[in-house]
Amino acid sequence: MIAWPSVLLCMGILGFLLYVRHRRKTGMTVLVAYFVLQYCSSVPGVVYPLAGYASHVAVPTLPAGAQAIVVLGAGREPAPQYGEREGLTLFAAQRVAYAAWLKRRTGLPILLSGGLATAVDPASEAQLMERVLRRDFGLKARWLENRSATTWQNARDSAGILKPLGIKRVLLVTQAWHMPRALWAFRHFGLHPIAAPAGYMLPGPRQSGWRAWVPDARAAGDASLLWHEFLGMLWYRARGTVW
């Protein structure tokens, strides 16, 4: 999916071209909209209230009846610090750590979901997550789903493993801002997911007060993630599938 900064850049270029080609009123309208969206997408005072509205909060007490823990992959990156070619991104590491916390409190089996092996490291994201789960937490996953490349495929392929075993009610581990789309996809494939967010978008100590209205690089990055989720949800609902 196209990143939100690219959408804004194209919008700004379009407005400029319209303006210099003597369609000044239209061009100025597009440019004003560009600057307003650019500002709103980079200030904590707008980004984090939107993140809170879009995210699911954790359940205070773990609900009864869950049958498994499903952890969604979140990418990979070079990991020379561990003597390995590739390891988990920060988001993926947060998910594995929270899954380990849930495992120790519930005893539920874990399914790790994520494919996307690379030429650098042939291990899937699920295998990378299992490596961290074993090395850092001394725990094992019951199932590895090694083929998926998108949230839609995470849900489809996880359901393909769990439903034949009679497992439908699962604790779904991903970031809070990713949870609405993940829940929608898992429900679409006949599972009954329970939100178990592993991380949240929250303003930092220097992003409050008057600083909440000053453009901030971290807020801009988080806004890009939120727009990705918003556009992804529209795509899921419009098409019912994803490439």
Distance CA 86, CA 99 (A): 21
Q: What is the pLDDT of residue 100?
A: 98
From residue 136, how far is each of 89, 131, 140 by CA, in Å?
A: 15, 8, 11
Q: What is the pLDDT of residue 242?
A: 44
From residue 226, how far is each of 135, 172, 221 by CA, in Å?
A: 32, 19, 9
Q: What is the pLDDT of residue 1?
A: 47
Amino acid at 113: S
Q: What is the pLDDT of residue 220?
A: 83
Q: Among 68, 1, 5, 20, which residue's Cα sits nearest to residue 224? A: 5
Q: Among 46, 2, 1, 4, which residue's Cα sits nearest to residue 224? A: 4
Treating both helix axes as pointing N-terminal to C-terminal, what angle do 4-20 and 217-239 enclose, rounded to 10 degrees? 90
Beta-carbon contacts of residue 183 (< 8 Å; ≥ 6 apart)? 56, 172, 193, 195
* Contact in structure between 115 and 154 (CB atoms under 8 Å): no
State both tokens at 195: 């939100």
Distance CA 65, CA 56 (A): 20
Query: Average pLDDT of each block of 10 consecutive residues along the chain (243 residues)?
Result: 66 83 86 87 81 66 87 91 87 96 96 86 92 96 95 96 98 93 94 92 75 84 81 75 45
Amino acid at 207: Q
* Contact in structure between 85 and 79 (CB atoms under 8 Å): yes
Length reported for the chain? 243
All structural domains of the chain with their residue ranges: 4-55+214-239, 68-197
CATH assignment, 68-197:
3.40.50.620
Q: What is the pLDDT of residue 54?
A: 67
Q: Among 112, 173, 174, which residue's Cα sits nearest to residue 148? A: 112
